Amino acid sequence: MLDLFSEIEQPEREELKRLRKELEEANYKYYVLNMPTLSDREFDEKMHRLQDLEAMFPDLYDPKSPTQHVGSDLGKKGFEQVKHKYPMLSLANSYSREEIEDWVRKLPAGVEIVCELKYDGLSISLWYEHGRLTRALTRGDGQQGDDVLQNIKTIPSIPWQINRTDLPDFFELRGEVLLPWERFEALNREREEQEEPLFANPRNAASGTLKLQDPREVARRGLDAYLYYMLGENLPGTTHYERLTTAKAWGFHISDAIKVCHSVDEVMNYIAYWDTERKNLPVATDGIVLKVNDLAQQDELGFTAKTPRWAIAYKFPAEKQLTLLREITYQVGRTGVVTPVANLEPVQLSGTMVQRATLHNEDFIRSLDIRPGDRVWVEKGGEIIPKITGKENPNTPINPNTPITQIFPTVCPECGTELVRIPGEAAWRCPNETGCPPQIKGKIEHFVSRKAMNIDGLGEETIDLLYRQGLLHNIADIYDLKLADIASQERLGEKSAQNMLAGIEASKQVPWSRVLFALGIRMVGETTAKKIARRFPSIDSLQWATTEQLCAIEDVGPQIAENIVHYFEDMRNVEILNRLREAGVQLEANGEGLEANVSDKLAGQTIVISGTFSQHSRDEYKDLIEAHGGKNSGSISKKTSFVLAGENMGPEKRKKAEALGIPLITEDEFLERIEN
């Protein structure tokens, strides 16, 4: 009999183990990679199932189970990890009035509930000591987080210093870092132009931005933040609402959409109002947060292992519609990647008419098992980019006579070249780089773009016109254009031709690192190009670089190194480079700024910068370290060579440096070291 019960239990025990693994992987992709694979509702349903199974099998208890801790966004990018003063937990989610009513029934009678918008961003904890911002910690694993202070300081709505006499010595404000819709759309347009993967939603974009190593790039992207909770000792007010009102008076960015409710009906009316009105907000929201207002009652209710009992989130249902997949077409990008696009029967979704949605790649089509003629679900929810999430009858092919193997093309839809698929990559690619029209025009568009050669007047339509007229076949042809050739074209004229030629002439002064980026070598983005240009100060030195030398550069992996080597092995590229040199394009560092390595005095050394400085900014010191062959790091370890210590050096970093015996050198000592 015992063996029989064991056999019955076995599938459920295996399900428990599988769910743990699946949810850990989902947490990693959501918090660390910013590439969610499950919707919030799917994740919660699996989590509830796991909790039920763990209750059935207490002998399988594991403190590392996803039910026992929050997902972690702790990274390995050099940010200092700091322990939270108060655990930073997640919220339990609800999806219906019944779940809200069930939660309210467990609260003290007559309790006041504060309703707030649930912003869809990255959680942040801000520490203020004597009115000065000293720490900015991500949620991390709930017990400790990454200190992203320098990046947080680029957000205009977060004050660095509060000059008031009524502040406590220490207080903590928690909130959400967001990327507004307008900035999100602009960022994705840039990434699309560079054929980089698009961010699925503003939350992913905000999270990825906040973990960048360059605060200047963070500032350029335009993050914002809303704050929603205050912690600390001897704080003013006895209710959550009073403290938020106080924080707002102190100059913090607190939402106006906060309401104290006294019944479930009031809560549901609030939810119904914002389910519609939130679409007019400048930032993404995905639900409502309900909190017990009285702080003493919050203390009495306490916490579970993962969530506070005095708060819960209501998640808005994702908006989706069923529509007809008319056909699948294929776009060829600058690097030859062939992207399938779903052409849909127009459908209204989140206030816009949706007719197209990306299908990403062949694997995505196979995973959904969709074909032209199927009725498919299109969803936006918190996403601005429409996506197909499934079909009407997932277990029954609507068009069984159209094998899925025949859906994806085997030859390029533009030039007829047989497609190739590189091992380890999901995309099919057209290898005809010099004869495929979209690739030719795409490379020219990239070359003249603002962050590359910045040539005004050569937009997409003009490039297409000049290509069709036989005047442009590659980037070197740009420097052979003549006034008469341009002026004679339809919609251009002599004035446009003069402006275009002036822009072409000015592009000859663009520095070497940007020229390298403009060449469009696959996977060599703007930041990577700068790092390569510092190590190899000319096209001649880079041309003979080995994969081993290239991989020694920060952020350059084997694939990027192989792409660079392959680029120079193609004699057509070498010919184009020779023509660019003859035209006067900067193919080597000209000595201005920090284009090339100034020396190797810091070669092999890893340096941490901490504190404030008088002679140069922190970013300038980072550039100086790299220019002299050193490597920057955000955290102190046994591998740290020394700390460049300024005024107000972080006490935790000082303590750790002293414990590890890491030398601290001053600003003057550092400058003397590299100058001598």
pLDDT tens, position by position, 64-98: 787 776 565 565 456 888 999 998 888 888 888 89
Same domain, 252 and 126: yes
Same domain, 501 and 473: yes
Give pTM, 2 decimals: 0.52
Tell me, yes or no, whether 360 lies in a domain: yes
Same domain, 133 and 274: yes
- Respond yes or no: is residue 118 known to be catalytic: yes
Tell me, yes or no, whether 432 lies in a domain: no
Cα→Cα distances 349→168, 378, 387, 605, Å: 48, 8, 11, 54
SS3 assignment for 485-530: HHHCCCCCHHHHHHHHHHHHHHHHHCCHHHHHHHCCCCCCCHHHHH
Same domain, 154 and 14: no
Asked if residue 240 lies in contact with residue 291, where contact means CB atoms within 8 angstroms, the answer is yes
Closest by CA position to 553, among listed 626, 641, 451: 626
Rounded mean pLDDT of 595-611? 78
Tell me, yes or no, whether 659 lies in a domain: yes
pLDDT at residue 160 above 80?
A: yes
Token pair for residue 195?
A: 């054929």
Residue at a domain's end among 315, 338, 365: 315
Is the model more confident about 389 or about 301?
301
pLDDT at residue 111 above 90?
A: yes
Residue 406 has a pLDDT of: 56
pLDDT single digits (tens) 5-51: 444 467 888 888 888 888 887 776 666 555 566 666 777 778 878 88
CA distance 283 to 206: 11
Kindly write down the DSSP assignment for every residue of 195-234, as one continuous string: TPPPPSSHHHHHHHHHT-S-HHHHHHHT-EEEEEEEE-SS
Report the CATH number at residue 482.
Answer: 1.10.150.20
Residue at a domain's end among 282, 315, 348: 315
> What 3-state DSSP class applies to 344?
strand
Report the CATH number at residue 43.
Answer: 1.10.287.610
Same domain, 377 and 513: no
Same domain, 214 and 250: yes
pLDDT at residue 175 above 70?
A: yes
pLDDT single digits (tens) 362-385: 888 888 888 888 899 888 754 556
The per-residue pLDDT of the chain, averaged, comes to: 85
Kindly write down the DSSP assignment for every residue of 634-669, as one continuous string: SS--TT--EEEE-BT--HHHHHHHHHHT--EE-HHH
Asked if residue 210 lies in contact with residue 162, where contact means CB atoms within 8 angstroms, the answer is no
Q: Which residues pair with 230 in a beta bridge?
A: 173
Tell me, yes or no, whether 664 lies in a domain: yes
CA dihedral 556→557→559→560, nearest 10 degrees, is: 0
Tell me, yes or no, whether 174 lies in a domain: yes
Same domain, 310 and 323: no
Asked if residue 81 lies in contact with residue 74, where contact means CB atoms within 8 angstroms, the answer is yes
Same domain, 105 and 38: no
Closest by CA position to 472, among listed 503, 440, 448: 440
Tell me, yes or no, whether 421 lies in a domain: no
Confidence at 115, pLDDT banded by 50, 70, 90: very high
Residue 574 has a pLDDT of: 94
Residue 37 has a pLDDT of: 64
Confidence at 3, pLDDT banded by 50, 70, 90: very low
pLDDT single digits (tens) 624-633: 887 788 888 7
Residue 525 has a pLDDT of: 85
Within 10 Å of residue 470's Cβ, how many Cβ atoms? Answer: 9
Asked if residue 146 lies in contact with residue 227, where contact means CB atoms within 8 angstroms, the answer is no
> What 3-state DSSP class applies to 160?
coil
Same domain, 220 and 86: yes
Closest by CA position to 103, among listed 314, 255, 288, 277: 314
Cα→Cα distances 495→453, 457, 505, 507, 600, Å: 21, 11, 15, 19, 49
Token pair for residue 470?
A: 């036989």
For residue 473, give the amino acid letter. Answer: H
pLDDT single digits (tens) 495-529: 888 999 999 999 999 999 999 999 999 888 887 88
List of residues 6+ apart from 583 with CB closer than 8 A: 476, 479, 508
Number of domains in the chain: 5
Residue at a domain's end among 315, 350, 377: 315
Rounded mean pLDDT of 413-438? 88
Helix (H) or strand (E) holding 163: none
Confidence at 284, pLDDT banded by 50, 70, 90: confident
Rounded mean pLDDT of 638-660? 84
Q: Exactly one of 46, 118, 443, 622 is catalytic; name it.
A: 118
Report the CATH number at residue 205.
Answer: 3.30.470.30
Rounded mean pLDDT of 226-250? 94
Same domain, 306 and 245: yes
Within 10 Å of residue 379's Cβ, how many Cβ atoms? Answer: 21
CA distance 222 to 154: 8
CA distance 329 to 118: 38
Tell me, yes or no, whether 601 lies in a domain: no
Residue 307 has a pLDDT of: 86
For residue 48, give the amino acid letter. Answer: H
Within 10 Å of residue 422's Cβ, how many Cβ atoms? Answer: 11
Work out the end-to-end distance of the chain between its first and last CA atoms, rounded to an integer number of angstroms. 84
> What 3-state DSSP class applies to 454?
coil
Within 10 Å of residue 19's Cβ, how many Cβ atoms? Answer: 20
pLDDT single digits (tens) 444-457: 999 999 889 999 88
> What 3-state DSSP class applies to 621?
helix
Is the model more confident about 175 or about 552?
175
C-alpha of 628 from chain center: 30
Closest by CA position to 578, among listed 534, 539, 541: 539
| Alpha-helix residue ranges (DSSP H) falling in 508-627 | 512-518, 526-535, 539-543, 547-551, 558-569, 571-583, 618-627
pLDDT at residue 393 above 90?
A: no
Strands 428-429, 420-421: pairing kind: antiparallel
Token pair for residue 21?
A: 């693994």
Same domain, 279 and 371: no
Residue 6 has a pLDDT of: 45
Residue 231 has a pLDDT of: 95
Asked if residue 45 lies in contact with residue 21, where contact means CB atoms within 8 angstroms, the answer is no
CA geometry: angle at 218 spanning 213 and 220, to 5°?
140
Tell me, yes or no, whether 128 lies in a domain: yes
Rounded mean pLDDT of 591-611? 72
In the Cβ-directed half-sphere of 316, how many Cα atoms lie within 13 Å?
Answer: 27
Residue 239 sits at φ, ψ, to 5 deg, of -125, 160
Report the CATH number at residue 622.
Answer: 3.40.50.10190
Residue 383 has a pLDDT of: 53
Cα→Cα distances 442→421, 478, 593, 641, Å: 20, 14, 30, 44
Domain holding 381, by residue range, is: 318-396
> What 3-state DSSP class applies to 261?
strand
Rounded mean pLDDT of 103-121? 92
Same domain, 41 and 140: no
Within 10 Å of residue 302's Cβ, how many Cβ atoms? Answer: 9
Residue 396 has a pLDDT of: 53
